[in-house]
Chains A and B, each alone.
Chain A
Amino acid sequence: MNSNRQSLWKRIMGVRGMGAALTAFVGLVIIYIAFGLINPTVFSGQNILNLLRSMSKYLLIGIAQSYVLITGNIDLSIGTQVGMSAMISATLMTSGISPAVAILVALISCLAVGVINGYLVGKFKLPPFIATLGTMFVTRGIAYMVNGNRNTDAISTGVGKEVADQFQNFFYYGSTLGVYNTFWIAMVVFVIFFFFLSKTRSGRHIYAIGSNIDAAKLSGVNVVMTTTKAYLVSSVCSCIVGLILCAQAGMGNMEAGNMYEMYGVAAGVIGGVSPLGGTGILLGTLAGAAVWQTLENGLNMIGAQVGIQRLVIGIIVVTAVLLDVVVRNGEFGKKKKKQS
Chain B
Amino acid sequence: MKDIIVSMENISKSFPGVKALDNVKFELCSGEVMALLGENGAGKSTLMKILSGVYTRDGGRLEIFGKEYGDLTPKQAQEAGVAIIHQELNMCKHLSVAENMFLGRELSGRFALDNAGMEAKAREVLDDLKIDIDPRQTVGDLPVSKQQMVEIAKALSINARILIMDEPTSALTAREIEDLFRIIHKLKDDGCGIVYISHRLEELQHIVDRVTIMRDGQYITSMDFAGTPMDQIITHMVGREIKEKFPRVECEKGKKVFEVKNLNAGRMVRDINFSVYEGEIVGFAGLMGAGRTETTRAIFGADPKESGEIYVDGKEVKIHCPMDAIRNGVVLAPEDRKKDGLCTKLSIRHNLALPNLDMLCNKLGAVSSKKESELCDKAVKNLKIKTPNVEIDSGNLSGGNQQKVVVGKWLARDSRVVIFDEPTRGIDVGAKVEIYNLMNELKQQGIAVMFVSSEMPEVMGIADRIVVMCDGRITGEVMARETTQSEILTLATSFEDKNINSR
Contact = CB atoms under 8 A, between A and B. Distances in A.
A199 B99 CA distance: 12
Contact of B112 (A199, A212, A215, A340): A199
B257 to A, nearest CB: 32
Contacts of A201: 106, 108, 113
A204 B99 contact: yes
A216 B138 contact: no
B104 A216 contact: yes
Contact of A16 (B90, B94, B104, B105): B94
Contacts of B136: 14
Contact of B93 (A195, A204, A205, A212): A212
B78 to A, nearest CB: 9
A220 B91 contact: no
A279 B139 CA distance: 13
A254 interface: no
Nearest to A218: B90
A340 B267 contact: yes
A208 interface: yes
Interface string B146-160: 000000000000000
Contact of A215 (B90, B96, B143, B173): B90
A195 B112 contact: yes
A199 B94 contact: no
Contact of B106 (A204, A211, A215, A340): A204
Given A195-B112, A200-B112, A219-B104, A340 B171 contact: yes
Contacts of A207: 92, 94-95, 99
B74 interface: yes
B111 interface: yes
Interface string A179-203: 0000000000000000100011101
A176 interface: no
Contacts of B111: 199-200
A221 interface: yes
Nearest to B118: A204
Contact of B74 (A14, A203, A218, A339): A218
B42 to A, nearest CB: 25
A168 B112 CA distance: 35
Q: Which of A208, A212, A220 has the most CB of B within 10 A?
A: A212
Given A200-B112, A201-B113, A219-B104, A212 B144 contact: no
B90 A339 contact: no
A278 B74 contact: no
Contact of A220 (B99, B104, B112): B104
Contact of A219 (B103, B138, B144): B103
Contact of B94 (A211, A214, A221): A211
A278 B93 contact: yes
Interface of A is mostly: helix
Interface centre among B92, B171, B267 (most CB of A within 10 A): B92
Interface string B352-383: 00000000000000000000000000000000
B112 A204 contact: no
Contact-residue bracket for chain B: 20 to 34
A169 to B, nearest CB: 32
A210 B94 contact: yes
Interface in B143-193: 143-144, 171, 173
Interface in B259-295: 266-267
Interface in B95-129: 95-96, 99-100, 103-106, 108, 111-113
A207 B102 CA distance: 13
A10 B90 CA distance: 29
Contacts of A216: 92, 103-104
A278 B90 CA distance: 15
B266 A215 contact: no
Contacts of B95: 204, 207-208, 211, 278
Interface string A1-44: 00000000000001010000000000000000000000000000
Contacts of A16: 94, 96, 138
A3 B44 CA distance: 55
Given A339-B266, A339-B267, A340-B171, A215 B138 contact: no
A203 B143 CA distance: 26
Contacts of A278: 92-95
A277 to B, nearest CB: 8
Contacts of B266: 339
28 contacts: A199-B113, A200-B108, A200-B111, A200-B113, A201-B106, A201-B108, A201-B113, A204-B95, A207-B95, A210-B94, A211-B92, A212-B91, A212-B93, A215-B90, A215-B91, A215-B92, A216-B103, A216-B104, A218-B74, A218-B90, A219-B104, A220-B103, A220-B104, A221-B103, A278-B92, A278-B93, A278-B95, A279-B94
Kindly list the 4 A-B residue pairs having the minimum CB-CB distance in the complex, ordered from nearest.
A220-B104, A219-B104, A211-B92, A278-B94
Given A199-B113, A204-B106, A340-B171, 16 more contacts: A201-B113, A204-B103, A205-B104, A208-B92, A208-B103, A212-B93, A214-B90, A216-B92, A218-B90, A219-B105, A220-B105, A278-B93, A278-B94, A340-B143, A340-B144, A340-B267
Interface of A: 14, 16, 195, 199-201, 203-205, 207-208, 210-212, 214-216, 218-221, 278-279, 339-340
